[in-house]
Structure 1
């Protein structure tokens, strides 16, 4: 079906190009763009409800940025959106610099393996990106970005329980033009970007755009002498579009993107020389590069080409989009939206930085520089996705009813060949697991939303989506002992996957792990809008969303490869959108209350052997409530001020009536909490080896329930820009600044942080040189409050034909962490600067 639909779309595209083109007033420029307000705030037209509307008319909590705004604020990638959007925390995944993990209102996922789905969906031109392996999108030719907060399950579908990031690329223009830009920055960073629009007729045009970037990396590897944590890559995009007839339009594009970027564990001071704190340092002994026959992993019993990998992360993405739009009747439009994504990823990453993992007994592991790293993962993955959507938009009954309805189909196939290694000494490396994972997702959905315009001011909205999806999985163990004609029970094979013995019923059969899971779910939406006047909108809504279940594919043993169920959300919102003083001041305010059932929580902890244990379960429910405010002020022409504020109060909700153990032998959170408290009462050091129930899952080291990760109470972004005319020749100087602040947050599920200072001594356990309760932060989950400053200064030529600019990111070199893994804190990138020259033609 996938190949048939893709072939049909290709034939239609070729037919469109060959069709006689008609010169009409509607051409390739019909994509919504920012409307210029005379002397006030620019109004951005968005498609958050799958139709074109002013952002101020949409009863959804949404932050929208035009391409010009992104350029002025120095936003070069989707990663940087977290410093502008209320209650959004964004970070690179541990190790993988090409992957973003977005947390909106406390909902997010840091996993990139294909059995996990992110709860904040990323879309490019209405095409959903299932994998977040390479969703750190370079914003080199973007019309606008929409960040929708809260579940979008009715119109955007599965896996949007937290929200959606919708990237809309620029479409070809009917006039010849474009731009070219070059830049140079810190760490020898070089960038080049360009785009050109070429009209082929009065109503059909093409756009060719691309970018290239290269840098040395901001961290020095003290073992190999190389520089790492670079952000290299290039991409090209061919866009086509125009009007085929008075009632038929088409836009399509092909993009090829190559990215090479790491987010390796690094420190402010050198492990080899703690007095050297000038820069960022990495100590893994794995040499950087792509592949080599002399890779340090080549002599290990690892199968496939991944044993030749060197330190690095490489992704290649091909994205094809097609959107046919047909006016089927008066005020009624049909869209056929087709997307195809092919993505390859190869990486070798060391998550222990060439040494052992930190713990209470060894809070600051000494420099080792192991040639195969400390805990390393080698991954060779191929991911392919096809989607087809049919969408009908329109109104009838003299404008009484507006509607959008459609059907959606998606199929995704993944093959992941990966191995985990753990190094004990310069000569001893354990291969913890080496397996091939194949999994497939097939989803079918139908949706409809109806708006009833009861009066000119009052609108009632009702929407519903039905989704049916099936996921299948197969795993094969690559180890020689599992491929000698006899498959041992310990081999990671599909038929071997089982749970654990249930301690309360040890004679019961051990539950087997299914290789197929299905979900059938309705996700409704209800809303009411009231226009007080043309500048003030009041709204309230109730929306449901869900995120697919999956498997804990990071497991290295057959009884840890367990399934987890879907995550379901109800979100209730009320808000106001308003413009004041002839649109000189904009104030948008949203209050929300979110109830999450069966929250999917990835967790990782250090096992007694020092290696890593991964577990993901539906540990608990979660409740989050809060408010979001966005203010914009244009007091005089050219001066723009803004303040975006987010507040949230999140907490887990534990089922105290759940069985002590589930069917797979996993202890309930309440039972684990009691076990931890009993261990503390017996005199054992919390989170020590004799108190394994403490500091694991979502139970803190002190036996209390953890705080949800990446839910800082306050997120605040403020900024200003001013266009200062220089004489009468049309030149101008534009300084701008952004200051973002967030309060402290936790970055690991169990809130386990290692502090300086000896842990409590007792007769039965300890003491240890580290403790889990207070002192100087050495490693782990707790991330103090942080302030980041970005600034930009641009000189514009006459009619903005050219521009010279210089910008800094994290200008005061603030050090903070948004993520962690197995007791290690991953600190954000240091200060960077960039000088650019741009010419528009």
Structure 2
């Protein structure tokens, strides 16, 4: 039977503590409408619970809304209401939309959510930002918090890298924009990404999906759910993805940057009565690709002497890069590559209706094992022969929440505890070409490979982190139109770390200052020993206030303010040194960020609720912004955290969707984001101002890109844009369908289009003329047939084969080499989905 209404499904859900829940499919496929009973957790994630939370009157109202057009369901106060009544900026993408557009992990999700930025050079060095803020751009340190909280079924993932798994049996993903601390276990200053998986059901159901494509792309997914008894239901899901790499390495004679992923998730639901749900979950994901290599992009002049810059150094060793055409997708890097990632854990969630409210408990343990190998010199020469920093993380969390709902008052109160330990063992070694590359050619030692060959830095480090919080929020419905919603949070954090670097020469001898010699001096210019043990604890109090007013039945205006924070951090990867080479101990602790956030918005529906248009304006001011500072010296210190004076992100977001009929839907989401350093006077300098002799008293730095010039000790980058942020971003899509009979089965043929555009952005913490990534637009198409329990479609992604970069990287040593990771070329394939 041909569909008439938007996609909605029956859910059994409990009332919970967040005053919002969204079940919206952006560009979702119209299917036969069913009855609805939906609600959410505090984070806006739908979960299984008694359907009795919806009244008959409310259900009738929802049915009426469905008949009038597209709806979004919320159940903030134990009754169903449309999401247009929720005073928050949020994007919600249903699982079927994610699959249809090929965005099967967090990294790809930014193609559907314009204000989300995800940049990665490998799983560990992944930055997830909302509105330009969240995680410092650049090499990642375990010693700071992420400003964007990533939650999977209510469980917080402490590191962005631990959330780079493939989406597995996902129901929906929600991107909440702006501070969310008064309703979350872990504080989030920039926003949150909520990932909800499909829950066990007491009706038997299953699904299977197979996809094949070019680049030897293979993906298979399956999920089965059903009852084990009258009170116990189970669900199990599995996925596997593989794809040939997009870059060919002529040194190893194979493609690199491949995909090789496996995931498994199991859940047991115990429901002894309609008031109690107990869900035990476990998951495991493994990624084992040969990744992540780069291609040569360009060179740029720095202030090093000309004979110590890339072209001269390469010519002196008769080295030529395999291709200077970046989109030949060729490289010749010679070191081993690996991005092995194992992620998993277990959780126990208890939801119990107690009197007029609901008590929720979430107990979780998660682990993350990271085993990387990199080519850190980005060349086919053995300068850095070995670079690897494997680490292991264990985290434990416990959260309690109590939610109460009435006609005039809703509230949630909660408590959260978190404990984490990360252990890292690092090794970096110089290679046979290191002496010629790193030692001044005027020094005779530059011609002796043994001086630096085998020189190794062995790092041992750990981090212990503890966090505890009390939080709560109240929604007071003053009148039928006016609601006032204050919230507060008190937070305690303690961090302690240890870092030790020991240095050995190629013969295994310890490299220390004594006995002094020319050889030792050359070696110490590359690696120096260091030990540090930073420790800090801190209390923070934050609060927020939201006032919203219904101007008309389908028009809601809101105004919100949040005083938030990002807690203290420590430098976990070593400290900068003074002129004598001693670590600057005061740099071990990073001040907390102080955040003031302002937002105003309006949500509207029109054309008998077939059209939706929402508009948001925001401004976020951050004092003591935690920024990544990079060090140009090869191997001395990869990067560390420091406080910038002030950062501001402000902009406007617009979301539009129309369901003209059951045959056509379309959406367009746009964002303008102006994110910049308001004050950062002692920032690291860009490559064109680095590498020369540091200016002394009374001296003036040389013009940018002056070989052999004078370099400033640091740079004032106040007024420059934050890295990784596009000023303009847009996502769009549309789908049209027509009824058809195929193989004696009624169904639809459909044509779908989606795409996204991002304007240019800076790919370096301090903006450089060499690392600005040009803007690009990507377009995807799909065409297929869907019927009862079957969906078959072909797809093309990046239809016009646009050449673009995901990220550019500055090679260490101030030699002027810029490397990069090209985005995916045009890909195509087909998918078959079956459900029963």
| TM-score, reference length from structure 1 | 0.77
Q: Who is 1:737 aligned against?
A: 753
Q: Counterparts of 1:74 and 1:40 in 2: how far apart (Å)?
A: 31
Alpha-carbon distance in structure 2 between the residues aligned to 1:419 and 1:53: 56
Once the two structures are superposed, what CA deviation does each residue of 1:207-246 show, in whole Å capped at 9, x if it has no partner? 0101011222111111110211011111111011142223
CA shift for structure 1 position 148: 0.7
Give the deviation of 1:45 after TM superposition: 4.3
The answer to whether the aligner puts 1:474 opposite 2:498 as a matched pair is: yes
The 5 Å alignment of 1:827-838 reads: 827-838=822-833
User: Which of the residues 752, 767, 773 maps onto 1:751?
Assistant: 767
> Is the partner of 1:38 in helix, strand or coil?
helix
Deviations 1:462-504 (A, max 9, x none): 10010001001122335469xx9999799xxxxxxxxxxxxxx
Q: 1:404 to 1:214 in 2, by over 3 A?
A: same
Q: 1:688 to 1:102 in 2, by over 3 A?
A: farther
- Which runs of structure 2 are paired with 1:75-86 in the superposition (5 Å)? 75-86=103-114
Paired position in structure 2 for 1:817: 805
Structure 2: where are the runs of 5+ without partners? 1-36, 39-46, 299-318, 435-448, 515-529, 811-817
CA offset digits 1:134-167 (Å, max 9, x no partner): 3223223111111011121222254522211110
Between the aligned partners of 1:687 and 1:338, the Cα distance in structure 2 is 58
Deviates more, 1:645-654 or 1:513-522: 513-522
Once the two structures are TM-superposed, the CA of residue 69 in structure 1 deviates from its matched residue by 2.4
- 1:720 is aligned to 2:734: yes
The residue number in structure 1 matching 2:538 is 519
Task: State the distance in 2 between where 1:592 and 1:818 align.
Answer: 27
Could you say which residue in structure 1 is the equivalent of 2:27? none
Choose 562-571 or 313-322, whichever is displaced more: 562-571
Other-structure match for 2:150: 122
Q: Which residue of 2 aligns with 1:336?
A: 361
Contact 2:675 2:725 in 1 (8 A): yes
- C-alpha deviations, 1:628-660, integer Å up to 9, x for none? 00000111223111110101222222278xxx9
**Match of residue 463, structure 2, among 410, 425, 439:** 439
Secondary structure in structure 1 of the residue aligned to 2:726: coil
CA distance in 2, matches of 1:602, 1:47: 41
**What pairs up with 1:260-409 in 2 under 5 angstroms?**
260-261=288-289, 262-267=291-296, 272-274=321-323, 279-286=328-335, 310-330=336-356, 332-353=357-378, 355=379, 369-370=380-381, 372=382, 374=384, 377-396=387-406, 399-409=407-417
Partner of 2:4: none
Question: Which is worse superposed, 565-574 or 81-90?
Answer: 81-90
- Paired residue secondary structure (2:215): helix
1:619-698 map, 5 Å? 619-654=644-679, 683-686=702-705, 690-693=709-712
**Structure 1 Cα separation of the partners of residues 822 and 415 of structure 2:** 43
Q: What TM-score, normalized by structure 2, do the two folds share? A: 0.78
Report the 3-state secondary structure (helix = DSSP H, G, I; strand = E; otherwise coil) of the residue aligned with 2:617. Answer: strand
Q: Is the 8 A contact 2:141 2:640 kept in 1?
A: no
Q: CA deviation at 1:49?
A: 11
Q: State the match for 2:214 in structure 1.
A: 186
Deviation at 1:681, TM superposition (A): 5.0
Pairwise CA distance, 1:622? 0.8
* Aligned position for 1:302: none
Q: 1:99 to 1:210 in 2, by over 3 A?
A: farther
Render the CA deviation track for 1:600-635: whole Å, top value 9, x for unaligned: 11132423x697642321122111211100000111
Counterpart-to-counterpart distance in 2, 1:78 and 1:125 = 15
Secondary structure of the corresponding residue to residue 673 of structure 2? strand
Question: What is the deviation of 1:252?
Answer: 2.3
Alignment partner of 1:146 is 2:174:
yes
CA distance, structure 1, for counterparts of residue 385 and residue 761 of structure 2: 26
Q: Is the 8 A contact 1:680 1:686 kept in 2?
A: no
Rounded to whole Å, the distance in 1 between the matches of 2:598 and 2:203 is 45
How big is the shift at 1:53?
Answer: 6.6
CA positional deviation for 1:808: 2.5
Instruction: Please give the alpha-carbon distance, in whole angstroms, between the structure 2 residues aligned to 1:205 and 1:51.
Output: 26
Does the residue aligned with 1:274 lie in a helix, a strand or coil? coil
Q: Secondary structure at the match of 2:649?
A: strand
- Decide whether aligned partners of structure 1 residues 579 and 677 sit closer, same or farther in structure 2, where only a CA change above 3 A counts: farther
Return the match for 1:554 from 564, 573, 580.
573
Higher mean alpha-carbon deviation, 781-790 vs 439-448, is at: 781-790
Name the CA distance, whole Å, in 2 between partners of 1:422 and 1:821: 20
Match of 1:784 among 764, 770, 774: 774
Segment drifting more, 318-327 vs 810-819: 810-819
Deviations along 1:377-422, one digit per CA (max 9) or x if unpaired, are: 30221100000001000135xx221101110000001101112344
* 1:109–1:119 CA contact under 8 A, matched in 2: no
Distance 1:809 1:735, change over 3 A: same
Return 532-541 or 29-38, whichever deviates more: 29-38
Q: CA 1:545–1:52 in structure 2 vs 1: closer, same or farther (change >3 Å)? A: farther
Give the superposition deviation at 1:546: 2.1
* Correspondence list, 1:126-205, <5 A: 126-156=154-184, 158=186, 160-205=188-233
- Residue 264 of structure 1 and its aligned partner are, at CA, apart by 2.1
| Contact 1:121–1:164 (CA under 8 A) maintained in structure 2 | yes
Q: 1:157 to 1:63 in 2, by over 3 A?
A: same
Equivalent position SS for 1:635: strand
Asked whether the 8 Å contact 1:251–1:324 carries over to 2, the reply is: yes
Please identify, of 682-691 and 116-125, the stretch whose mean Cα deviation from structure 2 is larger. 682-691
SS of residue matched to 1:707? coil
| Corresponding position of 2:556 | 537
Q: Is the 8 A contact 2:69 2:608 kept in 1?
A: no
Counterpart of 1:464 in structure 2 is 488
The answer (yes or no) to whether the contact 1:158–1:546 under 8 Å persists in 2 is no
CA displacement 1:327-377 (0-9 Å, x = unmatched): 1112x1100111110111111011332x2xxxxxxxxxxxxx23x564753
Deviations 1:293-334 (A, max 9, x none): xxxxxxxxxxxxxxxxx421111112212210111112x110
Question: Who is 2:629 aligned against?
Answer: 603
Structure 1, unmatched stretches of 5+, are 1-24, 287-309, 356-368, 491-510, 755-780
Structure 1: how far apart are the matches of 2:792 and 2:212? 12
Partner of 2:251: 223
Aligned to 1:470, the other structure's residue is in SS state strand
Write the distance in 2 (CA, Å) between the matches of 1:585 and 1:275: 49
Q: Which of 451, 458, 482 is equivalent to 2:475?
A: 451
Q: Is the 8 A contact 1:100 1:135 kept in 2?
A: no
CA distance in 2, matches of 1:192, 1:455: 52
Partner of 1:707: 721
Shift of 1:260: 2.4
3-state SS of paired residue (2:660): coil
- 1:284 is paired with a residue whose SS is coil
Superposed displacement of residue 831, structure 1? 2.4
Give distance in 2, aligned partners of 1:479 and 1:75: 44
Superposed CA offset, 1:171-213 (max 9, x none) = 0111111111111112111111000012123443100101011
Structure 1 residue 512: Cα displacement: 11
CA root-mean-square deviation: 3.7
Judged with a 3 Å threshold, the aligned counterparts in structure 2 of structure 1 residues 277 and 570 are, in CA distance, closer, same or farther, namely closer
Cα distance change, pair 819–611 in 1 and its aligned pair in 2 (3 A): farther
Provide the aligned length of Structure 1 versus Structure 2.
Answer: 708
Of 96, 102, 110 in structure 1, the residue corresponding to residue 128 of structure 2 is 102
Kept in 2: contact 1:412–1:442 (CA 8 A) = yes
